Amino acid sequence: MIGLNGATVRFGSRVVLETLSFSVPVGRSLAILGPNGRGKTTALCAMLGFQRLDAGSRLAPPIVGYVPQTGSSNQRLKAVDVAVMGCAARLGLFGQPGPADIDAARAALQRAGALRFADAFFDRLSGGERQLVLLARALATGSPALVLDEPGAALDLANQQRLLALLDELRRAQDKAIVFTTHDPNHALAAADDALLLMPDGPALCGPVTEVVTPPHLERLYSVPMRLVELQGMSGTPHRAVLPAFAGARAA
């Protein structure tokens, strides 16, 4: 279980979050959507306990599996040595990871589809590969909660696809409470059960993806005309996707 309860955050006189409440139980996945500067990252930091709340409280296990957009890469470590850091909370100040911890790290890398480059140096990996290793590290914490900061935001389409497929797999396993922020509604359609829309005007909208991620809501959220389309994937499976109509719509 992870979430916020009546959380308010102010930066000076600007109210970034106002009595925001939501909670994600184990087995569900929540996507937090919103335009830039509407408090996605603030909400995420508040959940993780990195952001002081002016009112309200947070709801989180002691350790949360956190996947940052880009990990620190100024230290040249092997991917497996990065993943094994997930065990740090169990090991304590003077603890050293033993064979069991390294096995756990490798299992997490396997689950994240990153075992192939377990012995490669983290700072030499591509952005997509790094994010998989960071996901493995979050899984290695063994936390029942997983929080991802704009997964795939800096990745090309192929790597976004890989990451979202993986998130969807984790969602279907139903053994974690998953929260991720994103600015792309299609990410919510691909890998979330519920969505939280941080509206620019008025209170946030929260509910199942099918009810909340709809063109009228999204148009209010981003001020961009939107259409919901049904597509057939290469294997014939139907997909739902949101299409923003930027300048191209006028040209057509």
Q: Are strands 145-148 and 29-33 parallel, antiparallel or unpaired?
A: unpaired
Are the C-beta atoms of 67 and 138 separated by less than 8 Å?
yes
Q: Tell me which amino acid residue 21 is.
A: S
Does 124 bind other proteins (CB under 8 A)? Our answer is yes
d(CA 167, CA 29): 9
Backbone conformation region of residue 238, classed left if phi is above 0, alpha if psi is from -120 to 50, else beta: beta
Query: CA neighbours within 13 Å on the CB side: how many for 238?
Result: 4
Pick from 15, 55, 75, 175 the residue near other proteins by CB under 8 A.
75
Task: Please state the closest distance from residue 142 (CB atom) to other proteins, in A.
Answer: 11
Say whether residue 237 binds other proteins (CB under 8 A).
yes
CB of 150 to other proteins, least distance (A): 14
Q: Which residues pair with 205 in a beta bridge?
A: 197
Of 36, 216, 234, 252, the residue at the interface with other proteins (CB under 8 A) is 234
Does residue 210 touch other proteins according to CB under 8 A? no
Q: Interface mask (CB under 8 A) for other proteins, residues 4-43, using x and -?
A: ----------------------------------------
By the rule CB under 8 A, 59 interacts with other proteins = no
Q: Specify the DSSP element, H or E, that contains 97.
A: none
Stretch that binds other proteins, among 23-31, 104-112, 156-164, 202-210 (CB under 8 A): 156-164
Residue 17's φ and ψ, nearest 5 degrees, are -125, 135
Is 168 near other proteins (CB under 8 A)? yes
What is the total count of residues that contact other proteins (CB under 8 A)?
Answer: 55
Which residues are paired to 65 by β-bridges?
A: 146
Distance, in Å, from the CA atom of 227 to the CA atom of 237, rounded to the nearest integer, reads 20
Which residues of the shown chain bind other proteins in the complex (CB under 8 A)? 45, 48-50, 62-66, 68, 71-72, 74-78, 81, 85-86, 88-89, 91, 93-97, 113, 116-117, 119-121, 124-126, 128-129, 137, 141, 158-159, 161-162, 164-166, 168, 190, 233-235, 237, 239
